[in-house]
């Protein structure tokens, strides 16, 4: 770490198998302590429901989907386990990045694409992810990782479909990355 500060060069990423064991132990800890796994997209559902309830309270209450995420008050709504977990993800990601000298404002993209196009694709991909995660009732964290470890049948089907969808479409978007 000290050497990194002197060299001002980012540290190499962790061995993937070691990082995987670390991630698995965090997931296991969540099972043992909370009786539930990890998640990500659910936190944003809570935020959006809360936001909608502030801007248009009646609309949020009458919406079958948003109302499920609403508590008695805004404070109650925001006391959501996944939301607090994601706050932790921000902290943990930042700390790891800081220790490795990887905190830097930049756009991560392939060599043959402009920033503008990268943002466009990022927004489209994010939008699809948002819709897909809600249809599947979870994303890579809540379905693939958590459901995979607890051997949930539907989560394994989901995981295979994520890879299928990605590999099927990879050819059409290859210019963005290579």
Partner 1 sequence: MITPLFKFGYFGDEFSLIVAVLIGIGFGFFLERAGFGSSTKLAAQFYFYDMTVLKVMFTAIVTAMVGLLYFGWLGILDLTLVSVNQTYLASQIVGGLILGIGFVIGGYCPGTSVVACATGKKDAMVFLLGVIFGIFVFGEFNTIFEPLMELTAMGRVLLPDVLHLSYGLVVFLVVLMAIGAFTLAEYVEKILALKKDK
Site for partner 1 in 51-110 (CB under 8 A): 52, 63-66, 79, 81-82, 84-97, 100, 102-110
Q: Which two tokens stand for residue 173?
A: 């978007």
3-state secondary structure 63-104: CHHHHHHCCCCHHHHHCCHHHHHHHHHHHHHHHHHHHCCCCC
Smallest separation, CB 175 to partner 1 (Å): 12
Nearer to partner 1 among residue 77 and residue 86 (C-beta): 86
CB-wise, 57 or 154, nearer to partner 1?
A: 154
- Binding characters for partner 1, 113-132, by CB under 8 A (x = yes): --x--xx-xxxxxxxxxxxx
| 54 vs 131, beta carbon nearer partner 1 | 131
Contact track, partner 1, 148-177, x by CB under 8 A: xxxxxxxxxxxxxxxxxxxxxxx--xx-xx
Q: What is the DSSP string of 35-64?
A: SS---SHHHHHHHHHHHHHHH-HHHHHH-H
Distance CA 45, CA 37 (A): 17
Taking alpha carbons only, the member of 89, 99, 105, 104 closest to residue 11 is 99
Q: What is the DSSP letter of 145?
A: I
DSSP one-letter code for 36: S
Min CB(112)–partner 1 separation in Å: 12
Within 15-34, the residues that bind partner 1 by CB under 8 A are 16-17, 19-34
CB of 4 to partner 1, least distance (A): 14
Of the pair 7, 170, the CB lying nearest partner 1 is at 170
Concatenate the DSSP letters of all residues of 156-167 into one string.
Answer: HHHHHHHHHHHH
Distance of closest approach, residue 26 Cβ to partner 1, in angstroms:
4
Judged by CB under 8 A, the residue of 35, 55, 58, 75 near partner 1 is 35
Residue 70: CB minimum distance to partner 1, A: 12
Sole residue written with tokens 């995987």: 20
């Amino acid at each position: 770490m000290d050497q990194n500060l002197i060299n001002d060069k980012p540290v190499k990423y962790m061995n993937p198998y070691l990082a995987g064991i670390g991630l698995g132990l965090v997931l296991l800890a969540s099972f043992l302590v909370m009786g539930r796994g990890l998640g990500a997209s659910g936190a944003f559902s809570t935020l959006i429901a809360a936001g909608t309830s502030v801007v248009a309270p009646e609309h949020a209450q009458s919406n079958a989907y948003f109302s499920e995420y609403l508590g008695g008050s805004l404070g109650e709504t925001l006391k959501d386990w996944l939301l607090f977990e994601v706050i932790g993800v921000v902290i943990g990601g930042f700390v790891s990045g800081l220790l490795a000298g990887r905190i830097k404002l930049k756009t991560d993209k392939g060599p043959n694409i402009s920033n503008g196009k990268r943002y466009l694709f990022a927004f489209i991909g994010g939008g699809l992810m948002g819709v897909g995660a809600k249809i599947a009732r979870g994303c890579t964290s809540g379905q693939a990782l958590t459901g995979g470890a607890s051997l949930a049948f539907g989560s394994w089907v989901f995981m295979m479909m994520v890879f299928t969808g990605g590999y099927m479409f990879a050819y059409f978007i290859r210019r963005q990355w290579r």
